[in-house]
Structure 1
Amino acid sequence: MTTREAAQLLLAVLSEGPSTLGSREEEESFFKTYSTLQPSRHGKDQLFDAVAKELEIDFPASFLDYIEGFVRLFRNGKAEEVIHVWAADPHAPAYEWRGPTIHIEVSGPYPRAEISFSPSAAFSARHALQMAEHRGIIRLDFHLATISSSWVFERDGYENVSVRSEVDGIFEAYDRGVRFARIIGAREVDAVAKALAKPVQQ
């Protein structure tokens, strides 16, 4: 799977569109729409400029360009070089929000798509990773992309019980055969895993 193909797959997941489209016309329409739309900047011009530069993409960039850039970074193990964002949780000293991360939104004929990335599997995704690995969905030898509009990390044993409970429910649905339930924001974690794994071809 090329980086562009992986980006298109992630885009379909993020936008709640189908990961497999019914016809070539549908596929062309879907990706043409999102490949031309640009993220809403919401006054964060400098952040988007900086990220576009780090991703080595021309600015202004389309939503799909950003996704493809992040896919390329994850595959090369360089995602941590983009942005680091730290924020303390006043209710839990061990809570740590660690980047790189960027939140991108775009609206169109499909539901709004949102994307955030983290390169580390050592956050609150630990519980999800353990459950996913047990099911053979994700391997721990590649960076996990956390795709969501809201997420919680854990460090030094701190856990967010509500998030863990939500993750449990998602995997229970997966065990029942549900393939479009969200897992940390992604509808098909196995599809995301394949997209972010090092490709056979570039």
Structure 2
Amino acid sequence: MTTAKDVSLALAQALARPYASVEAYGLALRRNGWWDPAKRGRGARAMTTREAAQLLLAVLSEGPSTLGSREEEESFFKTYSTLQPSRHGKDQLFDAVAKELEIDFPASFLDYIEGFVRLFRNGKAEEVIHVWAADPHAPAYEWRGPTIHIEVSGPYPRAEISFSPSAAFSARHALQMAEHRGIIRLDFHLATISSSWVFERDGYENVSVRSEVDGIFEAYDRGVRFARIIGAREVDAVAKALAKPVQQ
């Protein structure tokens, strides 16, 4: 049975951090109600892919103390976990990825992270993500599997998941990747922005919507700019921990 400790240890190794620093994120998630209370002994349960995805998102914050609780509207975790797909001009890409990840519409940023964790855990990442041929002279520490980037940025909350699709994935969904330069970039914004992203409708400009959206950008776009990224190494680490054989 894979426990939170197993996954935290695997993620700490992938991040080259002490275990205690990653454990602190899990403790904050549990303390703030994002993870269910822990049980010991026979009542203990295996860690879920949802919890693993939450841990991956948590390490992208400024620290455990910034995660916040379900009741805090502007906490890092509540804000970023609920970011919505910016589908404008990318409907086909979002639909294709959602189908491969077996997630339903509408899905949040956290749903997509969990979907990729499942994909790696089930050994199907290469069916969706292109694997670049590794240089035989490259150092052993260089990542050589399916490559994916998961990024959050601010102070206006944004997120992005990007990867190069496999040839089989593109063929299954009839994707013309030349117009996307061979890379799928799925971007996520606040729900209010995502639902009001198209300003023009029926031949005229919706001034009231633009004013509302500009107001939201202005309210959030103050403070130190930042971008934090995790990749396939971290996703693969937690996925392999989840997939380890159950000890009899």
State the TM-score, normalizing by the size of structure 2. Answer: 0.38
C-alpha offsets along residues 31-61 of structure 1, whole Å, 9 cap, x if unaligned? 3323322133452221111000011100231
Per the alignment, residue 154 of structure 1 pairs with: 200
Q: Give the secondary-structure state (helix, strand or coil) at the position aligned to 2:186.
A: coil
Greater CA drift, 21-30 or 138-147? 138-147
CA 1:109–1:8 in structure 2 vs 1: closer, same or farther (change >3 Å)? farther
| Contact preservation (8 Å) 1:105, 1:114 | yes
Give the Cα–Cα distance (whole angstroms) in 1 for the partners of residues 202 and 143 of structure 2.
13
**Long gaps (5+) in structure 1:** none
1:191 & 1:51 partners in 2: Cα distance?
A: 21
Matched, 1:45 2:91: yes
In 2, are the aligned partners of 1:105 and 1:115 still within 8 Å (CA)?
yes
Greater Rg, structure 1 or structure 2? 2
Determine the C-alpha separation between the residues in 2 that align with 1:201 and 1:177.
Answer: 49
**Structure 1 contact 38–62 (Cα < 8 Å) conserved:** yes
Q: Residues 56 and 124 (structure 1 numbering): CA distance in 2 closer, same or farther, change over 3 Å?
A: closer
Which structure shows the bigger proportion of residues in helix conformation? Answer: 2
Return 88-97 or 40-49, whichever deviates more.
88-97
Q: Is the 8 A contact 1:100 1:119 kept in 2?
A: no
Name which of structure 1's ranges 103-112 and 42-51 shifts more when overlaid on structure 2.
Answer: 103-112
Q: Cα offset for 1:162?
A: 47
Separation in 1, partners of 2:174, 2:89: 34
Whole-angstrom distance in 2 between the partners of 1:81 and 1:63 = 21
Instruction: Kindly indicate whether residue 105 of structure 2 is the aligned counterpart of residue 59 of structure 1.
Output: yes
How far apart are 1:82 and its partner, in Å?
A: 2.0
8 Å CA contact 1:85, 1:99 repeated in 2 = yes
Aligned residues: 202
Range with greater deviation from structure 2 (79-88 or 159-168)? 159-168
Considering fraction of residues, name the structure with more strand. 2
Q: Is the 8 A contact 1:89 1:96 kept in 2?
A: no
Alpha-carbon spacing, 1:200–1:94, altered in 2? closer, same or farther (3 Å): closer
SS in 2 for 1:139: strand
Change (3 A) 1:89 1:151: farther
CA apart distance, 1:94: 17
Change beyond 3 A, Cα 1:186–1:104: closer
Which SS does the other structure have where 1:115 is aligned? strand
Query: Is 36-45 or 22-31 further displaced after alignment?
Result: 22-31
Structure 1 residue 2: Cα displacement: 1.1
Deviates more, 1:93-102 or 1:65-74: 93-102
Identical-pair percentage = 100
Paired position in structure 1 for 2:156: 110
1:173-193 per-residue CA deviation (whole Å, 9 max, x = no partner) reads 999999999896599899857
SS in 2 for 1:147: helix
Structure-2 change in CA distance of 1:103 and 1:28 (3 Å): same
Whole-Å separation in 2 of the counterparts to 1:197 and 1:157: 52
CA distance 1:48–1:109, change in 2 (3 Å):
same
Q: In structure 2, do the counterparts of structure 1 residues 128 and 44 end up closer, same or farther at CA, with 3 Å as the change threshold?
A: closer
